[in-house]
Structure 1
Amino acid sequence: MAEARDLLGRLPTAGPTRGANRRKVLLAVAIKSGTQADIAHRTLLSQATVSAAVRELAMAGLVPNAKERGKVGLSRVNDVGVGVHLGFNHTTVVARRLDADFEQVTSRVGSGGLSRGWRRALPEVKQMIDEAIAGTGQQRSDLFSLGIAVPRMISPRTGDFTPPILPPWRPGDDPAGDLGSWLGVRAIMDNDANLGALAERTYGTQEHAETVVYVKASTGIGAGIIVHNNMLRGHRGMAGEIGHVTVDPEGAVCQCGGRGCLETLIGADALIAQVRAVPAMSGMATPDTLEQVIAAANARDAVCMRVIHDAGRRLGQSLAQLCNLINPDLVAIGGQLAQCQLLLEGCAESLRRFALPGAVDESFGFTLAPSELGTLAEAQGALILGLRQQETAPSGT
């Protein structure tokens, strides 16, 4: 049985173009099977180059011999890709044997999250990774790649946290280094909203959309932006920090040091506080978590419905400005709050009111929708990130 890692170890990351192109095509197929035209679109290679690479990979036994217009996927391999989402209140791990379809992931979800600190969370994360890999029928030694999604800004130049390092992280925390050393692979991490956008653009139905915005609305608020196949990270990885856009100059102080940030109005703590301020008017018990607020809103609790609908309207006001600036094809809403339709309804109201009509006109192709990948979006994006970084990994890794 051919193994992807064996061939990659022999293929250059740069230098001889032919080998580098084969490497790029192999990883693109590992991320998602598709026609040669699809692969050319995702790799930005010519269809002739992709066709030649596919023929060579077939000769190596890594892809089946296929007709020119048929879908290209990996032959049976043992290699496993893993994606980890380290959220504030939840941890999600997905694992997939690389010859399997992207939907055929084994997932594990933990309720601990990073709110307790990275050192305390680390043992559970390791256990979840082991369980997810075992769920694919493979072993830890079959791990091929590891990507990590984190709810903070990551420098595109160093791969480390961009200062200031905000809670739940502390100076010295190094999830990529810790997990990579334990597993014996080169791990890589990025902002979770960025990776949600990457997964939505890759695995959603709008793969060919020119500009995609993915909004993660949970404990915090962030946005990932993809333009022309490229992730918009910014000079220091701060692009898309919509949660820290000032919407009320006289508002509450945010943990970033700003005042009146969007996150202070529609982040989890703010929504819980709003509901708790009027317990006598609500038929539910005083909520302690965002999940409880969402569940009550979905059960038609009047206070929680109002709070989440208003949160959607606030979010929509900020997104309207973003739509006016970059004119996206798709705005996908992910995170916990996307589990309540009222958030999207409020968001749509404000987009219609505050955005340029042409920027949010569905008749011209604009779409506002919940994430197609649901709660696995960020972890799926992390899995893609781990595979993509193999394009530049040193030979033999």
Structure 2
Amino acid sequence: MGDARTLLDRSTHGHGSNLKRLIIEIMIKSDRQSRIARRTGLSSASVSTAVQELSANGVVETDKGGDSSGKSRSGKVRLRELRGVAIGVDLGFNHVSVVARPVTSSFDQVIQRRETPGMNRGLRLLLPDVLNLIQDAVEETGQKMADVVATGLAVPRMVEPRTGMFTTPVLAPWRAEDRPIQELSAALGVPVAMDNDANLGALTEQTYGSDEAVEHVAYVKASTGVGVGIMIGSTLLRGQRGMAGELGHLTIEPDGDVCLCGGRGCLDTIVGAESLVAKAKQAQRGSSREAPSTLGALVHSAQAGDAVCGRILSDAGRTLGFALAQLCNLINPRHIIIGGELAEAEHLVLDTCRQELRRYALAGTVHQDGDFKLRTSALSPFAEAQGALILGLQSRSSK
């Protein structure tokens, strides 16, 4: 069995760079040559030449099949057996999610782990638990920690794209002195790449959410706060300082509550988890019934028929729809995908969200005939961790 580390240590210059890039893209997703060319930006001829060379060297193989006429047709390019595991970690405020996948396995064969609490404990206390989850997931793949070849990290904060570090000001629960990349890298012995969780959710949806090429995708992470990852083709729209897509800090009520960011009336203060739970507690004051203490519990109660929780989620959908209408008018996405805990409410949020989209967005941006879709993520709650795994592998192309 070959070793993925050896392949990923290839030269990053000239022809070797194209070979390495192609290997990484196949690790991310086995695919047809035409789709690999589109994902990498390489020419079809370059991909074909590289596949032929890698095939001759026993690194990849191509599935072959036949159509109804008996003629052969191109199949997916896949790696032959290799030792190596890729890791994705999502450090949420109330949870930690970890995915581990052998580099030769399909994305839907990933090992998943999820645990509460999350970053609300602080990085120093949380790190040992994160490492235990990683080790447990890696061992279930049948491999060892020494076989980890790439690691990515998703965080619900803004990340400076040029440095891979937090964009200032660093908001709670993180502290300015926190160094998650360095600490995780030192513990695992491999480089770690970090990005905003909504960005990585968008990367996952663009890569694994559909076999069709979707040019404009917006992934909405709605949990403790609201963030949006925006994919334009194969490119993440990060902005100059990594602050693109901070929909949660869009001002909805100019005279509303003060937000963690220092603003007032931000979307986060209206549909963020803390705000929604507080509304449920306020509505049920004086009642002998126990009010939900988490967003997950609130969603569960609403799905069980609780009128108060159902109304809170319905109203949250309206407010979110109003904010997403502004997004549609600005970037005109083809797909908007809702992830995070709020997505678990499904139609309780989506129905009113669609109503407000139609009311406030330009009609052409949300018209069904234009292939516009608003849906929840089928890859949730591990979409962000899956995106982190992709990021970790992509980062190896320059190392």
TM tier, smaller = over 0.9
> Shift of the alpha carbon at 1:352?
0.7
1:345 matched to 2:342: no
1:258-269 counterparts in 2 under 5 A? 258-269=263-274
In structure 2, C-alpha distance between the alignment counterparts of 1:338 and 1:250, rounded to whole Å: 28
1:381 matched to 2:387: yes
Q: Which amino acid aligns with 1:388?
A: Q
> Shift of the alpha carbon at 1:374?
1.4
1:306 aligned residue (301, 306, 311): 311
**1:55·1:65 contact (CA, 8 Å) conserved in 2?**
no
For residues 68-90 of structure 1, what are the alpha-carbon distances to aligned partners after superposition, in whole Å with 9 as ceiling and x for unaligned? 71111111111100000000001
1:161 matched to 2:166: yes
1:191 matched to 2:203: no
For residues 277-313 of structure 1, what are the alpha-carbon distances to aligned partners after superposition, in whole Å with 9 as ceiling and x for unaligned? 1115978521211111010011110000000111011
**2:216·2:334 contact (CA, 8 Å) conserved in 1?**
yes
**1:211·1:225 contact (CA, 8 Å) conserved in 2?**
yes
Q: What's the TM-score once normalised by structure 2's chain length?
A: 0.95
**1:2·1:61 contact (CA, 8 Å) conserved in 2?**
no
> Shift of the alpha carbon at 1:363?
1.6
For residues 169-227 of structure 1, what are the alpha-carbon distances to aligned partners after superposition, in whole Å with 9 as ceiling and x for unaligned? 01211111101111111101000000000000000016511100000000111000011
How many corresponding residue pairs? 390
1:147 matched to 2:147: no
Q: Which amino acid aligns with 2:310?
A: M
Q: What's the TM-score once normalised by structure 1's chain length?
A: 0.96
Q: Which amino acid aligns with 2:395?
A: Q
2:221 aligned residue (193, 216, 226): 216
1:53 matched to 2:59: no
In structure 1, C-alpha distance between the alignment counterparts of 2:7 and 2:88, rounded to whole Å: 22
1:229 matched to 2:234: yes
Partner of 1:42: 39
> Shift of the alpha carbon at 1:12?
2.1
Partner of 1:271: 276
1:360 aligned residue (366, 370, 379): 366
For residues 356-388 of structure 1, what are the alpha-carbon distances to aligned partners after superposition, in whole Å with 9 as ceiling and x for unaligned? 111001121000000121101000000000000
1:30 matched to 2:27: yes
Partner of 2:11: 12
Cα pair distance change 1:347/1:206, threshold 3 Å: farther
1:327 aligned residue (324, 332, 337): 332
Q: Which amino acid aligns with 1:142?
A: D
Structure 2 runs not aligned, ≥5 long: 65-72
> Which stretch of the first structure deviates more once superposed, 62-71 or 194-203?
62-71
**1:200·1:372 contact (CA, 8 Å) conserved in 2?**
no
> Shift of the alpha carbon at 1:8?
2.5
**1:283·1:301 contact (CA, 8 Å) conserved in 2?**
no
Partner of 1:172: 177
Structure 1 runs not aligned, ≥5 long: none
- For residue 369 of structure 1, give the secondary structure of its aligned residue in structure 2: strand
For residues 27-49 of structure 1, what are the alpha-carbon distances to aligned partners after superposition, in whole Å with 9 as ceiling and x for unaligned? 00000001111111111111111
In structure 2, C-alpha distance between the alignment counterparts of 1:2 and 1:284, rounded to whole Å: 60
- For residue 64 of structure 1, give the secondary structure of its aligned residue in structure 2: strand
In structure 2, C-alpha distance between the alignment counterparts of 1:173 and 1:60, rounded to whole Å: 44
4+ residue runs over 6 A deviation: none
**1:33·1:71 contact (CA, 8 Å) conserved in 2?**
yes
1:107 matched to 2:112: yes
> Shift of the alpha carbon at 1:346?
1.6
% identical aligned pairs? 50
Q: Which amino acid aligns with 1:78?
A: R
**1:88·1:114 contact (CA, 8 Å) conserved in 2?**
yes
> Shift of the alpha carbon at 1:66?
4.7
Q: Which amino acid aligns with 2:242?
A: G
For residues 110-168 of structure 1, what are the alpha-carbon distances to aligned partners after superposition, in whole Å with 9 as ceiling and x for unaligned? 11110111111111001001011111110000001000000100000110000001011
In structure 1, C-alpha distance between the alignment counterparts of 2:366 and 2:36, rounded to whole Å: 30
Q: Which amino acid aligns with 1:391?
A: S
In structure 2, C-alpha distance between the alignment counterparts of 1:290 and 1:337, rounded to whole Å: 8
> Shift of the alpha carbon at 1:59?
2.4
Q: Which amino acid aligns with 2:373?
A: T
- For residue 59 of structure 2, give the secondary structure of its aligned residue in structure 1: coil
**1:148·1:187 contact (CA, 8 Å) conserved in 2?**
yes
> Shift of the alpha carbon at 1:7?
2.2
**2:62·2:78 contact (CA, 8 Å) conserved in 1?**
no
**2:181·2:194 contact (CA, 8 Å) conserved in 1?**
yes
In structure 2, C-alpha distance between the alignment counterparts of 1:251 and 1:155, rounded to whole Å: 29
In structure 2, C-alpha distance between the alignment counterparts of 1:284 and 1:201, rounded to whole Å: 43
> Shift of the alpha carbon at 1:55?
1.4
2:92 aligned residue (81, 87, 95): 87
1:124 aligned residue (112, 126, 129): 129
1:295 matched to 2:294: no
For residues 310-349 of structure 1, what are the alpha-carbon distances to aligned partners after superposition, in whole Å with 9 as ceiling and x for unaligned? 1011011011011011110100000001000211112111
In structure 2, C-alpha distance between the alignment counterparts of 1:3 and 1:58, rounded to whole Å: 16
Higher strand share: 2
* Alpha-carbon RMSD: 1.3
